[in-house]
Structure formats: C-alpha cells, structure tokens
Structure 1
C-alpha cells in the first residue's frame, strides 16, 4: 500500500514541478483536504501530511516491540530448556555428552527462533519506516510547491 501511495504522490509532485498541473493529482492524499478549502494554506497542508504519516506508520510500534523482545523470549525459552535438561539429568544414571547434547540443542532452537523473528521484524520495520519517510517528504514537497503558487498569485 505504501509503495502505491509513494508512486501516486511522486507522479503528482512531478506534474507540479514540470508545470503540467497547477494542483495536486485527484488521487493524491492532499487533494481531499484541498478540495475542502477555497484557498490552500499551510495549516490544511500540514494536516494532510500529518494524517498521511500517522496512517502510514500505524503498525511500526508493534513491529518495533516484536523486534526488540523476541530475542529475549527466545533466550528465556533456552534457559527453561537448559534448566529442564539439568533437572532431568539428576534422575538419570548417565551424564554423558550423548545424553546432554541433544537436550541442549533443542533448548537453543528457541534462541534461534527468537533471533530469526527479530531479524525479519526489524527489517520490515526499517523498510516501512523508510517508505513512510518518502511519503512524508513527497507530501511536504507538494505542499511547498502549492504554497509557493499561492504566494505568487498574491
């Protein structure tokens, strides 16, 4: 969705820059706000940009939480697995490596899973954050062009 929004806003900005249009494209996020006022002003353009950024960054907090907590959850699972392994060792006659190694390796799977989840969550968090920044930048640029056109008319 963000890729489509960025593409729409980039086309709208290009049309403004090249003089192909005096206003934003009708599919632009800013268009809805501009259609409600007689004369574009800074406040309405900032509101449009702010709303767009708010909507586009909606899930970033959850991704950030997942990315930062999943390694710890994985480590907690590993610690529990190791504790169970040592607990079970006391009830067995043998404490050889062939008995301990499989149980410890099973416990380490939790750490690996936590790290894998963190890598993907953090990666997508950064990608979405960058796309939201691109959208914000495009909207700000369009707002500046529109405001400069209004100032030239005065």
Structure 2
C-alpha cells in the first residue's frame, strides 16, 4: 500500500497533486463547518423546543434562553414587526455555514475534473515520447481518475452536510415561528 502511494506520487502531475491537496483541505474545512454548526444548531434547537413547550403549556412569555427573548426585552410593545425581525435575524444566524457547503458541493467535482484532465494530458505527452502501449494509457488514465473520484467524494459529503444543516435550520425556524404565533395569539 505504501509503495503504491509512493508510486502514485512519483507518477502524478504536480497539478493533480495540488488538486488532491486542495480537495483534502476542502474536506477538512467542510467537516469542521458541519460539526461546529450541527452542534450549535442542536443545542439551539433544544432551547427553542423547551421554550415552545412552555409557551404552549400556558406560559405568557418565552424562556429567557430563547432567541426571541432578546427581541421581546428590547421593546416595551410586542408587535408582529418585532417578532418578524427576530425571525429574520434567526434565519440569518441559523443558516450560517450553508453557503460554504453549497459552494464546495458544486465546485469540488470540477476541481477534481481539472486534475484529471491535466493528468490525462500528461499521460498523452508520455505516450508521444515513448513507445508504450496500452499499459501506459491504462496506468495514466487510472491515476488521473483519482482526482475526479476525490472531487466527487468531497462533493457528496458537502451536499449531504448542507442538506442536514438546512433541515436543522428549518426545524429551528419553525419553533421560533410557532413561539411568535403563540405570543401574538395570547396578546389578542
């Protein structure tokens, strides 16, 4: 296995190695963003769920830990406008990190494809310089496709993480909206 990696490193074009290094960096960043945001959203979701339950059980106001609490404290008159502003601010905070995952999901296959194209061009250059046959072509193309596979691998995780965080954000925003509706219903 180690010999195969060394052989791959020695035979690969520097651009392909750079592409693989970039994709590895993307993979590290997207995992960090996902786990950080997932844990943040999970704890926030738990707070809002408890607050919603207390409001639905008859409490006249939201929990002090609730996101809405800061907005309700800042205004002496609770209105739809204040609650709508709180919901917009919550949407902004809940969806942080989604754009980077979306960008990674859409660009990494192309980055991998770029590495593959450069490696295939390099393989054809070697074929023209030597009298190698199918073994040169097969070896070069198989090494080149590693970059495409890496790009698709990173894209799959990026897209999956994006969808998971998007769903968590949606649930969170629904809890905040339900609390807002319950507060407004009690004011009438």
- Using structure 1 for the length normalisation, give the TM-score: 0.93
Q: Match for residue 60 of structure 1?
A: 98
Say how many residue pairs are matched: 149
Unaligned runs of 5+ in 1: none
SS at match of 1:90: helix
Structure 1: which 4+ aligned runs deviate by more than 3 Å? none
Q: Deviations over 1:34-65 (max 9, x none)?
A: 01112311111111111011011122111111
Q: Match for residue 41 of structure 2?
A: 2
- In the TM superposition, residue 107 of structure 1 has moved relative to its aligned partner by 0.3
Work out the CA distance in 2 between the residues paired with 1:94 and 1:125: 45
Unaligned runs of 5+ in 2: 1-39
- In the TM superposition, residue 94 of structure 1 has moved relative to its aligned partner by 2.2
- In the TM superposition, residue 141 of structure 1 has moved relative to its aligned partner by 0.4
Q: Match for residue 149 of structure 1?
A: 186
- In the TM superposition, residue 72 of structure 1 has moved relative to its aligned partner by 1.2
Q: Match for residue 128 of structure 2?
A: 90
Residue 73 of structure 2: which of 26, 35, 43 is its match?
35
Greater shift, 112-121 or 66-75, is seen at 66-75
- Does structure 1 conserve the Cα–Cα contact (< 8 Å) formed by 2:123 and 2:136? no
